[in-house]
Amino acid sequence: MERFRFVIITGMSGAGKTNFMQKLEDMGYYCVDNLPPVLIARFADLCWKSTSNTRHVAVVSDIRGGSFFDALPQALDELNKRGIPHEVVFLEASDEALVRRYMETRRQHPLAKTMRIQEGIEAERKILAGVRAQADVIIDTTAMKPADLQEYMGSRFGAVDKKRDMQITVFSFGFKYGIPIDADMVIDVRFLPNPFYVEEYKHWTCLLYTSDAADE
């Protein structure tokens, strides 16, 4: 059976936790966002004992949980008592980067409802100091590009689906029906001879037409 991995993602608001979780999901992890810490141990135990495909799980728990978030240290202790393997990933960034991101998105910081963004960030750092000290991995996303994060995650957490290779789909279409909306590259070959009128290729077009007619 595949090795069980339970990743707990936490850290500063605006540091990229949601993006981190989405990348893990693309790698095949079963992800839950904003899970209350009081449910983490129970959920981890459920996944750990499951015989289904939930062998790679990631949850996000952060300051958005309000007073529920205070229970995260106890949740980590409970995981240790039960012997459930887990990793705590703490994401952070510089104050300047976090302020800039909030200014660009015009979103409100969870702790800055009645104060400046900078003050909210400072208050959050103090609250998360204990959790940061318990983290197995600390990632500073201040100057990290998406490609850098993707490369790091691939080496650290590994690809769950080892068969995920580059996928290339080549297909033909009629321009009169419009260009496929999911095409990355379109090549106009209307200047080439119609294969129906090329003797050595004609039988292939007949098979295609027969198949289309059968589908209809």
CATH number at residue 59: 3.40.50.300
Q: Give the structural domain span for 205.
A: 175-215
Inter-residue contact 161 to 30 (CB < 8 Å):
no
d(CA 3, CA 184): 36
Number of domains present in the structure of the chain: 2
Which pLDDT score, from 0 to 100, does residue 176 have? 79
d(CA 69, CA 46): 21
Does the residue 162 lie in any domain?
no
d(CA 10, CA 35): 11
The residues near 31 (Cβ < 8 Å, ≥ 6 apart) are 21, 22, 24, 25, 57, 58, 59, 60
Does the residue 167 lie in any domain?
no
Does the residue 165 lie in any domain?
no
Which pLDDT score, from 0 to 100, does residue 1 have? 60
d(CA 8, CA 136): 10
Q: 195 and 105 share a domain? A: no
Average pLDDT of each block of 10 consecutive residues along the chain (216 residues)? 88 93 91 95 92 86 91 94 95 94 89 89 94 94 86 76 65 79 83 81 64 46
Does the residue 133 lie in any domain?
yes
Q: 118 and 192 share a domain? A: no
The residues near 106 (Cβ < 8 Å, ≥ 6 apart) are none
Which pLDDT score, from 0 to 100, does residue 163 have? 52
> Residue 210: helix, strand or coil by DSSP?
helix
Q: 183 and 139 share a domain? A: no
d(CA 12, CA 90): 8
Does the residue 166 lie in any domain?
no
Q: 203 and 110 share a domain? A: no
Q: 77 and 112 share a domain? A: yes
The residues facing 138 across adjacent strands are 90
> What six digits make up the tokens of 159?
């690809």
CA distance between the termini of the chain: 44
Q: Which residue has the tokens 């702790």?
A: 111
Provide the pairing of β-strand 30-32 with 56-60.
Answer: parallel
One-character DSSP codes across 24-41: HHHTT-EEESS--GGGHH
Which pLDDT score, from 0 to 100, does residue 32 have? 95
